[in-house]
Structure 1
Amino acid sequence: MQGRIKTGQMPGIPPTMPGMFANMLPMAAGQFGALSMMPVQAMTQQATRHARRVYVGGLPPSANEQTVATFFSHVMSAIGGNTAGPGDAVVNVYINHEKKFAFVEMRSVEEASNAMALDGIIFEGAPVKVRRPSDYNPSLAATLGPSQPNPDLNLAAVGLSPGSSGGLEGPDRIFVGGLPYYFTEAQIRELLESFGPLRGFDLVKDRETGNSKGYAFCVYQDLSVTDIACAALNGIKMGDKTLTVRRANQGTTQPKPEQESVLMHAQQQIALQRIMLQPPVIATKVVCLTEVVNPEELKDDDDYEDIVEDMKIECAKFGTLVNVVIPRPLPSGEMGPGVGKVFLEYTDTEGATKARQGLNGRKFGGNEVVAVFYPENKFAEADYEG
């Protein structure tokens, strides 16, 4: 769905004054007015259009032409960005609902440049990107008016900081890498917001598929938590990946001593988040146990048979066992694939699930048993290295 809305009056078109020019210069008004003044105005508007439009990306699904026009006219007024006189700064909005972006046309080149300071502003609960459109011609625009926002804009009135560039530029921008691809934007934001609200957030996605590329950038509203977040999150295991979290333009930094209590609290929050963000567990008919047998105990044939028999008796309590496999060291004494593990194959996933729940965390010989589901195809192929 696409559409347009026009508000306000285009600059340069004077209000109509009936009879004034007709009485004074009837020939000029009648014969040349429509042929000279309007085409010049139209040509001027077209020539400056590329410099008067701004690209707004990341719009929520609820956005429409009217809400976008009203919002940007309001915030332009609030920051003192209107330079073309009273009235609304926005004269036209075009929205591409499918791709969630809009082109917002301002009355003047200077107002469009002032609007660039709004990058990262929160619109209907989400930060939006404000950029120059692809047809923007910097060299040509430089002859039409200012190309940078006025440094005296009151950005604090709308919750932005001067020079923040959407909250995603500058020394306090954080790089978050090593994100599992199945993490959603909401999950990542929730993880990052353990330290405080974000001023800007951008999960980098593949243009073709729209899928996460596994890294993101963010900036906190309270810049003092930047180093705390980096220290707490960097190196944390998330699923099958390890997070790399640091300032985007420098190496790792350590939090100041007075920030330690905040860091400790945040790490507790992260521990809870890690539990919530684990990848979904897919049940199989095979359970793999570790920390349950000592490789040395498996070398003697009699001891080995006793261990296998004990495992069958104990693990049959959870369901019908099909097979128990306990890899042994090679005759040469070398540790072959899977030595130290015990594999339990059940007739169904229900029995395997009960075994995993019943055995995981149980103390055995002073060690805490770890029980996980094991891929059935790998077990069938006697691949015990996973």
Structure 2
Amino acid sequence: MLHAELEPGRITGVEDGQTRICAAHAEPPIIFAMAKSAALEAPRGQARLRRTRAVREGLEAYAFLAPALLLLIVFLLLPAFWVFGLSLFRWDLISSNPDYVGLANFDRLLGRDELFRKSVFQTVYFVAVTVPVSMALGLLMAVLLNAKMPGRDFMRTAIFTPYVMPLVATVIIWSFMFHPYAGVFNAVLNAFHLPKLNWLDNPRTVLPAIIFYSVWQHTGYNVVIFLAGLANIPPELQEAARVDGARAWSRFWRLTWPLLAPTTYFVLLVSIIGSFKVIVPILVFTGGVGGTGSGGGPDNAAETIGYYLYTQAFYSFHAGYAGAISVLLFLIILAVTFVQMGVLSRRVFYS
């Protein structure tokens, strides 16, 4: 090794053809630069480690979600896109060569199909009555069942039971209850000396009868959701309002109801979407035990968009036309949902 006595920070020796700089005698600017470089390198390494960890966690999350996403794509998204394409064809579900007709199905549906327009009106009527009544009853029962009382758990179970019972079975039972001669409802009317009604064979009463059943069937679900919302309201707020002298109605209107806004918003959204798609009760009521008319009720008085779609697809085998009805039903529900979100979301507070 050769040594050379030079100024501090200069060459101090040569070993194996490489030049060494004595760090102990390095000039102050060189020491500062080395420390700064080390200080900057540490955060970069930590950031790189965080990015690697985030990517790994993201891949793990998608791996766990993959089975559910696969089912969602195969059985929901792909059929939905397929229906949009199907609406542009004339097809009977049997022939191998469907005919492309463009927007002809939509032209017929919106311009010349009187039954479709009637089904739209009756669907709106069904939704406008079923949703508010079932929500109001659900909220009332939830408030009553939220208080401590004997048999509260049994009553909660009994009210929720109709929602989880088989739909077709309950509709058949209610068809017997609507029977014009042996039905329970006409027996009640007769007890009050009122005329009997031909519930399911009269164009004026068939849809109100189905609405009556739907309210009974959906109220239990609303009760459970409202009870969950009431459970999240701190009891200290109710106690403070009671100490301040607020009456029961004032506590409900000024305290409970505003705090239930997120729950009410959810119930309203789900109820409207479900009511627009009603099919099974109409199918069984108008072609089952209690009624003698064809599907859709007498004079198609119970025809809704969902039931009309079903008959076009699986009775008339007009698959392309049914696809066009599906697209319009989707657009109607989407428009109603956007209007609801735009009007009500600003009045909903989650904290």
**TM-score, structure 2 length as denominator?**
0.21
Structure of greater Rg: 2
The structure richer in helix per residue is 2
Higher relative CO (Cα under 8 Å, sequence separation at least 6) belongs to 2
The structure richer in strand per residue is 1
